[in-house]
Structure 1
Amino acid sequence: MNFFVTLSGRRIKQGILIVIISFFTALFYFSQSIVQFPVLSAKGEPKAIYKGEEGVALTFNIGWGDVQAEPVLKVLEEKEVRSATFFLSGAWAERHPEVVEKIKEMGFEIGSLGYAYEDYTELEDEEIRRDIDRSLEVFKKLDIKEVELLRSPTGHFDKRTLKIADDMGLTLIHWSLNSQDWKNPGVKTIIQNVRKVKKGDIILMHASDAATQTAKALPEVLSVLQNKDNLVTVSYMIANGRVKTKLIP
């Protein structure tokens, strides 16, 4: 009888151990599969997302101008592209409601590029907050709902910018691949810059009037990107895999 009790006790302990190991193994795999959105650092400091894990996110900044946005949209329409993210300045959106409506109708995601296209690192906290809030008010009037993404207008940001964006419920989006299209280096050079694309990249392009070669380069750029991976919006990329973030020293 003593032997039977001892043997049963061992089996019970082994069973419990197996259950515990199985539980933590399942927990590990589950944690790998759920949405991961590391906006905060270990110290609780907000970060800027610049790269994802799956897909390729094509993004366009529009800060000013009356000419280049339409040709870019026309190429996207002709190529039947429906997954892209447009970061619009509030001042531009306010002056071009018909183009904003077209961006919406085509199913593209819209994020904020602030309102007045100012360098946030040169503004006071309240000025940054006011500029972002003003852009959100414009989007609200244009019936753009649930704007959750922010790109710093000039690409420059600091810890203050990240903290303010986070406080306002916005995620700051940077990029991992710069097409350099705003420099107008030539169509071939823009395409060559984009050929460096890797899975998970967030690509920066422009549809402001300064970028006069973007629309011409875009058909080949799209071909390059679609051969690399699926085109996705930034939000889709964030919600469907791990993302990489930038820490500001």
Structure 2
Amino acid sequence: MHFVIFKKPSWRNLILWGIFLVVLVTYRDNVISVFSEKLKPIYSAQSTTQEIGLTFDISWGEQTAEPILDILKQKGIHATFFLSSPWASKHEDLVKRMVAEGHEIASHGNRHVDLNTLSPTELQKEILTSQEVLERISGQKISLLRPPNGAYDNKVISVSQKLGYRVIQWSVDSLDWKRPGPEAVINNVMNGIRNGHGAQPGDIILFHASDSAPDTIKALPVVIDRLQGKNYKLVPISDLLKNAKTTWPPESNLAPQEKVPVPQ
């Protein structure tokens, strides 16, 4: 018969194990994320204020963007516009108006394709092509990306981060592109697609300013008034993130890297 004799652990090892357990408990979600190698875009933020991120996607259309800008100007609201670079090239005057009126310009890619179907080289070209166009027209540094159709994978998040981008999704979907009618759009934002999940501080609201979403023009003033009636403040994404403790889900808490300049 063999006996296994365990040595009594040293105080040094006990202290190290104690530190490890404290870190594991305190940062459990982030530790799990690292080991599971899951990367996520930002869906919302843990806000320290009453702020809600207001966003609009534009890839095509001639009729919807200008009325939405009129509404935002009248209400004194600033938002983030995720623009595809071909649309921006065709509507430079509207992009410059967005900047002049205090809105944030962000990237919705170059072609309207699912970025997770591209190779890393193709993906980098897609992002940098859009960046060159948007920065030239807007004069802003572009550092936020919303993938077309919300399609992403680890590759999209990783390549974007290396290029100095944070990838932004949404936590409140207006579903305005489905053309459900203005009342439905209002309800989707205020009460949620599932009741009880309406916009709250830290959320990111998705609207479209493409012509595929004509209901937004009628719904937007009501949404703004009702959210302000709850003492919520609608802001661009960069402002929301600046005042946030952290982002959700935990896998989205990636330290932004230095912005990569576009080759001239």
TM-score over 0.5 for the pair: yes
Equivalences for residues 125-140 of structure 1 within 5 A: 125-140=120-135
Aligned position for 2:256: none
Structure 1: stretches of 5+ with no match in the other structure: 1-37
Out of 44, 51, 55, the residue aligned to residue 59 of structure 1 is 55
Which amino acid is 2:249 matched to?
A: T
1:235 aligns with 2:238: yes
Relative to structure 1, the CA distance from residue 143 to residue 199 in structure 2 (aligned partners, 3 Å threshold; closer, same or farther) is closer
Check conservation: 1:57, 1:234, Cα contact below 8 A: yes
Aligned residue type for 1:238 = L
Which whole-Å CA distance do the structure 2 matches of 1:192 and 1:46 have between them? 31
Shift of 1:246: 6.4
Q: Tell me the equivalent position of 2:259.
A: none
Structure 2 equivalent of residue 15 of structure 1: none
Aligned twin of 1:70: 66
Larger Rg belongs to: 1
Matched residue, 2:248: 244
Whether the aligned pair in 2 keeps the contact of 1:177 and 1:201 (CA below 8 Å) is: yes
Residues 1:209 and 2:211 are matched in the alignment: yes
Q: For structure 2, which runs of at least 5 residues remain unmatched after alignment? A: 1-29, 191-197, 253-264
Equivalenced residue count is 209
Over aligned residues, Cα RMSD in angstroms? 1.9
1:57 alignment partner, SS class: strand
Task: Report the CA distance between 1:121 and its aligned residue.
Answer: 1.9
**Aligned pairs (5 A) from 1:44-55:** 46-54=39-47, 55=51
3-state SS, counterpart of residue 34 of structure 2: coil
Cα distance per residue 1:79-100 (max 9 Å; x no partner): 121x211101111101100000
Measure how far apart 1:145 and its partner are. Answer: 2.1
Matches within 5 A, 1:7-156: 41-43=33-35, 46-54=39-47, 55-81=51-77, 83-156=78-151
Structure 1 segments, 4+ long, off by >4 Å, are 43-46
Aligned-residue identity in percent:
38
SS of the equivalent of 1:211 reads coil
